[in-house]
Structure 1
Amino acid sequence: MIKIKKNLEEVPISLIPAFNDLFLKTGQIPQTTFTTHQKRMDIIKNKTYNDKYSERYKLDDVRDSLIAIYKYKCAYCEQKMERYNVEHYRPKKIYYWLAFSWDNLIMACPTCNGYKGTHFDLPIGNTRISFKNTEANIRLINLSSSKYDAIEKPKLVNPEVTDPSGLIRFQISGRIESQDERFKYTIAKCQIDRKYLNDDRRKILNVFKRDICSAMLISDSNERLLCIKMIVSKFINDSRDEELPFLAFRRFAIENMWLNNFIKEMN
């Protein structure tokens, strides 16, 4: 996991509540926006989520915005996805009124999404939020998570809110772990430590070690040193490339001097 940067002020137009004063620049409320608003109000009135409305949070403007933010990567495991889900941080089955809320929508791979399910435990003694249907609350429907978080203090990590730096660790084998209770809960519920992911993370280091081994075979010392520097530089640059998967693992490897240690072992 890495911290995801989402501008909560740039709400996809189809998710904006259908109040005339929110569309003064365009002069009218778009039909897609009006329809989503109607479905939202129907869900709130009935106090339960209706699966037949699922297309409303999967409209093109929502998907396109999330793709630009997440770079086709899962919010939890960071793998690149050909298939992906527009997922809810707070489960829509419980928090029905947040089904179309911008600050509650994330992008996840089908596997993490499936394991996550409706897991959303709160610390013992904390009260789960309920919704009061007022115009003020509807107007703030896309920006309510921070207020809810302060009250509920949920165990599940929101990658758009909490920075995992220093709170998660990796092993050279690719395994992910944490001593932080919230990250431990998230890793367990989404099963981010599954073998497939561990193998893919480990392959990143294996490629680095293979390239270093090849560089060590260069007889000319200056040329060999230059080649090693280029390999290390590429690894560091890749760790900054938001398009690539497993950035947290790459950055952890750099911060913990794994690259240097591999090179020393091969000398």
Structure 2
Amino acid sequence: MKYWKKKKNRMIKITKDTTDIPISLLPAFEDLFLNKKIDRLAKTTHEKRMLLIKNGSYIDSNEFNSRYKLEDIRKKLITIYNHKCAYCEQKVEQYNVEHYRPKSIYYWLAFSWDNLILACPYCNFHKGIKFELGGKAETLKNTDDNIKKINNLSSTYDTTEKPKMVNPEISDPKGTVKFGKDGSIDSDNINFKYTIEECKISRTYLRDGRRKILDDLRKEIALAYSKNDEDEVIPVLRHIITTFKENSQNLKNEFIAFREFAIASGWISEILKEEKEA
């Protein structure tokens, strides 16, 4: 009994509008603001940004760390990331506003919109400052033009630097990531493999969470076969599978990539067959 049309597996690519920049991150140039009036929060952040550039390295103190965690930034990121970690897709109560390119290396991008992501404490801890390059590292050319476009500067480095760490807002991972029924995750793609290993996306807690999705589906199907007359089984199963599909399309749910992979790999049909014969 098959209800699903197969499609390519993929992880979730985050869509961020890099033109919709939180006002607190805008560089303090009058032409970037409505009515040519520079916002107070933006002015302070810009002053800190220019101090870092003058210093030539990041200054790790609350005075600077607080500037990329302001409320307008957090709210936008939480909405964009659907309350989930950029790397593991886990919903957690505590989110860290963090950096794709490490601020300790790319100090001038510490307050740049296209370099800020939402991460759980665990992925963020394991990621740390790991950021291997396959190309040549970029440095800042301190001109007004570059400072004005600094909120979109990080992604322009990708072609030259060839970073190994996946940027969830840039990389389109269709067909590159694979899962096991036990919730494990792997990839033959060097960038995704590097990211999975460095962020520990196959750690036990995450594997268990992904596996539970299949275990719960199996329990529902088994219950449908055990408690319904033969004529009633099919509509009940259709409802179970339709609900699973809807949950797999709701980006607010955890582990969407695993759910979609399960569908594309025909695991639902396998479970149906196994439970029917049980």
Give the TM-score range, shorter chain. over 0.9
2:74 corresponds to: 63
Q: Identify the match of residue 199 of structure 2 among 187, 190, 204.
A: 190
Separation in structure 1 between the aligned mates of residue 223 and residue 212 of structure 2, nearest angstrom? 16
- Give 1:145's match in structure 2, choosing from 154, 160, 164: 154
Residues 136-175 of structure 1 correspond to what in structure 2 (within 5 A)?
136-175=145-184
Moved more, 46-55 or 250-259: 46-55
Normalised by the length of structure 1, the TM-score is 0.97
Please say if 1:7 is aligned against 2:17: yes
Deviation string, structure 1 residues 87-116 (Cα, Å, up to 9, x no partner): 100000000000000000000000000000
Deviation at 1:151, TM superposition (A): 0.7
**TM-score, length-normalised on structure 2?**
0.93
2:126 to 115, 120, 128: 115
3-state SS of 2:19 partner: coil
1:214 aligns with 2:223: yes
Return the letter of the residue paired with 1:186: T
Question: Aligned residue pairs: how many?
Answer: 264
Q: Distance in 2 between matches of 1:130 and 1:160?
A: 22
Matched, 1:104 2:115: yes
Counterpart of 1:47?
A: 56
**Misfit runs of 4+, over 6 Å:** none
What is the alpha-carbon distance in structure 2 between the residues aligned to residue 243 and residue 222 of structure 1?
A: 35
2: CA distance, partners of 1:162 / 1:147: 14
Alignment of 1:13-28 (within 5 A): 13-23=23-33, 25-28=34-37
Task: Name stretches of at least 5 consecutive residues in structure 1 with no aligned partner.
Answer: none
C-alpha distance in 2, partners of 1:96/1:51? 10
How far apart, in 1, do the equivalents of 2:231 and 2:35 lie? 63
Gaps of 5+ in 2: 1-10
Correspondence for 2:88 = 77
2:6 corresponding residue in structure 1: none
Larger RCO, structure (CA 8 Å, separation 6 or more): 2
1:6 CA displacement: 0.5
- Match of 1:97, as an amino acid? W
Give the drift of 1:160: 0.5
1:132 — aligned with what?
Answer: 141
Q: Hey, what does 1:263 align to over in structure 2? A: 272
| Cα separation, 1, equivalents of 2:94 and 2:200 | 18
Q: Contact (CA 8 Å) 2:133, 2:164: kept in 1 or not? A: yes
Cα pair 2:109 2:154 within 8 Å, conserved: no
Q: CA deviation at 1:27?
A: 4.0
C-alpha deviation, 1:265, in angstroms: 1.2
Show CA shifts across 1:222-263 (max 9, x none). Answer: 321111000000111001111110000000000111001100
Residue 179 of structure 1, aligned match among 184, 188, 197: 188
Q: CA RMSD in A?
A: 0.9
2:164 alignment partner, SS class: coil
